[in-house]
Structure formats: structure tokens, C-alpha cells
Amino acid sequence: MPRTPIQHTFAPSHRRSSLQTRLTRVALASLAAWMAAPAFALYDPADAGTEPRTDRVIVKYRNAANSSTLDSNTLSKARNAGNRQGLSLNHQRARGDGNHVLRANRAMTLTEAQTLADAIRSGDGNVEYAEPDRIMRIQLLPNDTSYSSQWHYSESTAGLNLPAAWDKSTGSGVVVAVIDTGYRPHADLAANIVSGYDFIIDTAVSNDGNGRDGDAADPGDAVTANECGYAHTAQASSWHGTHVAGTIAALTNNGSGVAGVAFGAKVMPVRVLGKCGGYTSDIADAIIWASGGTVSGVAATSTPAKVLNLSLGGSGACDTTTQNAINTARSRGSVVVVAAGNSNTNVSNASPANCSGVIAVAAVNRSGGRAYYSNYGALVDVAAPGGDVRTAASNGILSTLNAGASAPGSDSYAWYQGTSMATPHVAGVVALMLAKNSALTPDEVETRLKASARAFPSTCTDCGAGLVDASAAVDAAAGTTTPTPTPVTTTVAEVETNNTRAKAQSITANPALVNGSIGSSSDTDYFKVSIAAGKTLVATLAPKSGADFDLYAYNSAGTRTALSNLAGSATDTVSVRNSGTTAITYYLRVVRYAGTGTYTLKLSQ
């Protein structure tokens, strides 16, 4: 391996503790053996998301409450109502509480059954009531032995609300590309894998002895100390792509292991990360190819992915190569879901999460607050469970893994933490949405996902629209709820000189993202905003790393009414409420405390 660092290296966006590593190698290798499996009689998951049908109606007759049969005149009236709908009705049985079950010659939708019941009731004055004999189904609770350890799916505090979603969609028919380290043919995952590709050209990175080929299997990405050309410790193989893929589509209700968010979907493994990371050029090619585009020298995929999961990232602005690749993927209808990053900093400096057109995902802990490592900021769209293994490994995200320290070993399971783990939760939910409504565009998916998210149960400042709710998102996709459209943020460039209130730059867009800069120790920037009656202006200032800027708010008379002066490069936020009946004018001021450089100022009301 060359001593020089890989240019623009990307790394998997996850972290694991030494405690978690020990559990992975020892206890979790036999996890399935000690987890008790609840036994449930379940409906076929292939039927999930379809409207339940029935071939029966229940009718209560006033004069036949104690009869085991119906007289010919009574039955004839019911049959006449059925004939008008093209149905043939027969008496099936009497029930113990005095009503009768009539059975049709074919299954009906609930709407048809209700229409029949109404017709029977209106055509016979002897009918006390009539109603469809509906088929009831339990909410899917998988019998996977470790499902009970996947708090991130069902716990009411910070879980994904998946059981309710599974009754409506399992992701069937959707392919999700996991653009990552490749995959291992884990027994709890392999049946849901479709053909992928290895896009790593550099053999020092690929670690499999060759360049690009059709084998996306993960040979391991372990490195020795300092092998990547900078100071770092030795690292065992992460098997990162296998963990991510398991969260999306591990085999479910198969009596072993873990469950997947969209277990009816298929995973396309696309290998771009190896030893020390991966190249932007490889990643961009993978984005294009996985979405059904053309890459020179690579045969087109026969299973284009409608969802692309990128649990990877690096620092800096979104590069043109990656942005162009994302644009082409979106043009083919693919939704791109990206990890916000694990640097506890503003996502504006984390690529590709800061690229346009992606769904950037922050991570929450088991309490529903922002995970200590998660990036944040105005460019974050939503948050999902990412875990925190510092106090207990079981507070992380449990998924499929491999037990090999360097080269592949036996199948295992592990609790990981990171925005890498939050991202496949969202990618899986997007698959559930698209299986329910395949006509949704990437923008419509994002809008409905964000509009259906629920409020954070704990502090998660700058974590996007809310915590993803799988069941509500599927409803939003189907149109059974009417999501509130997400306002489009307008980007505004700062215009100098604006160093006094009299020269304040007027910002009229709502919401607006101002790109500004502090160029010297004497520089200061003022912005003028009109706050509508009854509205609250929220202003969020995010300086570049290494700079310390503060945020002040002044009323129209020039009196300072609010300030935020957090230390270092922390994000400052102020809010101003207009409780009056007419619009008021306010001024926001960006003040230098230390350093110079760029910043973003998000304004919304």
C-alpha cells in the first residue's frame, strides 16, 4: 500500500466500542442460540400491503335470533341484494349471539362487502344490522430469534414504528443498492441479495487481488497500524456493508437471527470501499450504474435500484463528480439516502451528505435525542435510530455481520452505532414507501417522508424534520394522509457592505439559507427580516470549523432582544416570536469572536 493517503478517501460512517467488538467476536457469534423465539401464526408477508378481502357478511335478523337456519323468504331478499352486485349468496351458519353469516361466491373488497351489507339492510325491514365479516390480521411481529433485541424497530420512544408499517408494506419489488464495502453471503441475508458489482479499481484498496469485476463479495478491509499513510491504529475488518444490508433486508420471520426494515425488498451490493476507504470516482460510477445508468466497460445492471444507500462520507464541499452522479441517478427516479456523518459537527462540511438532492440522515440514541457523534445542521433532512454503545452494547443497532477479524469467518451478529446505521433504516422505509406507491418521484418521497416524521422525544437540535415514522411514511406514500408540503429553502449569497443596521441586507425568502463570510477582525454582518403576525423566526448560525461567531437579534428600534454565543465552532440559534397582529421588522447580526471564514445562516418562520 502506498504511504501517500488516498485522495478524497471516504470511510464508513459507523463507530463501534471495544465492548461491542468483544461481544461481536464472542457472545454474538451464538446470539441466536440464547434468544427465545416467540411463536406467532402469521399471514403470508407477501400479502402485506394488500386490502384484506372477505366473501362474507354478518346479518342480524330480528325474527331469527334463535334460529339455526333462515326461511326461504328471508334468504331470498338477501340473495336479491347480492344478485344486483353480481353475487350469489348462501346461508353459511348461525352464530351464538343470534346473527347469521351469509357467504358469497367470490371474495369482495371491504368496500364491496359494505355495499352488499347496506343493500341487505335497506331491502329488508327485519334486519337489525348488517356488516362485512372482516378478516382481522395481527401486526407482523417476526419470529426471528433476535428481533426482541432490535429496539430500534418498535420501541415507542425512539423506534421506527415498523410493526404497524409491515401490515401495509414489506418493500416487495423494490431494489436497494448498498454502496459500501460489499457483502458476505450471511445465511440471514443471502436470499435477499441480487447481483451487484465491485467498482474498486485500485488493487491495494480492493484487497481481493483484482480490479473491477462482477463479484461484490467483501474480502475484508482490515489494516495494520499506519498502513493508510497517516497515523492510525490497526483496525479489524468492519464487514460494514453486510451490517448495513442486514438492517435493510435481513430475512424476516424465518425463525432465526434478526429482521430487516424492508424484508420484502432486495439488496444490490455495490462495492466501493476497501482498505483505507474508497475513491470518489469509484463511488460516482457506482451511483450511476446502480441507478441504471451506463458506465464504460461495465455491463448494465438488470435490476436497477430505486433506492441508493450511502453510509459513507468525508469532509469538505460536495464535489462536482459526486453531484453529477447523484443528479443522473435522480433523473432515473432513484432516491439517494446518505449518512450525515459522525464528527459531531455541521453537515455542511460533510460530503456527500451536503450534496443537493439527497436525503441526509442524522442519528438518535435510544432516548430519541441526537447521538453524541451525529452531525447536524440545516442540511439534515430527517433522523433515525443510530444507537449509542458507550453504556451498553445492546443500545446499538443489531444486524448481520461476519466473525472474521481480517479475512472472512463465520456468520455473526453485532451491535454497531453511527449515522451509517441510521441511514439504512431510512433507506428501508423509502423502500416500503415505493412498494406502496411506485409512482413517487425522489422529491415526493422526501417531502412525504419529512412531513410524516414525528417530533423528537428528546433534544435533537438541527436534526431535520423529525424522527422517521415508518407507518406514517407508508400512509403518506399511499396518499391516505395528506402531508404538509415541505417549503423549499432558497439559498442567498451575502452582499457587502452590510456592517450596520442601516445597511442591513434584506432577506425575503422563507426559509432561506444565507451563505456568508467574516473576512477580518472588524467585519460584522447584518440581515433584515420581516416576521409575519403570529410567527416565530428561528435563526441558526453555523460557522466553518475553527471559527467562533456569535448571533444577535435586534428589534426595529435597535434594542438587542436575543443572543447566542456558544464557544468554539458550535451552532448558535436564536428565536423571536411575533405575538402581534401585524408584521414586525427584526435584524440578525453575525458577530466575530475568533477566527475568520465562511458560515451559513438559516432563517425560517
Q: Could you list the active site residues? A: 180, 240, 420
The residues facing 132 across adjacent strands are 57
Cα dist from 192 to 49, 431, 485, whole Å: 19, 14, 34
- 3-state class of 604 per DSSP? strand
Q: Collect all residues with Cβ–Cβ distance below 8 Å to 86 and sequence separation of at least 6.
A: none
Cα dist from 201 to 8, 296, 418, whole Å: 15, 13, 27
**The C-alpha cell that represents 192 in the structure block:** 435477499
- Beta-strand pair 175-180/266-271: parallel
Characterise 576 by phi-psi region: left (phi > 0), alpha (psi -120 to 50), beta (else): beta
**The C-alpha cell that represents 160 in the structure block:** 421506527
Edge-to-edge, what's the strand order for the sheet holding 350-351? 11-12, 312-315, 350-351
Question: DSSP secondary-structure letter at 442?
Answer: H
Torsions phi, psi for 354 (to 5 deg):
-90, 5
CA distance 405 to 413: 14
Side chain identity at residue 490, one-letter code: T
Side chain identity at residue 489, one-letter code: T
Burial class (CB in 10 A: 0-12, 13-18, 19+), 212: middle
Q: Collect all residues with Cβ–Cβ distance below 8 Å to 100 and sequence separation of at least 6.
A: 58, 59, 60, 61, 64, 70, 91, 92, 93, 94
**Residue 81's CB: how many other CB atoms inside 10 A?**
23
- Of the candidates 301, 320, 287, 263, the residue with the CA atom closest to the CA atom of residue 180: 287
Cα dist from 132 to 123, 179, 365, whole Å: 16, 47, 44
Cα 47 from chain centroid? 23
Q: Collect all residues with Cβ–Cβ distance below 8 Å to 124 and sequence separation of at least 6.
A: 61, 74, 77, 78
- 3-state class of 60 per DSSP? strand
Cα dist from 439 to 54, 153, 265, whole Å: 28, 26, 17
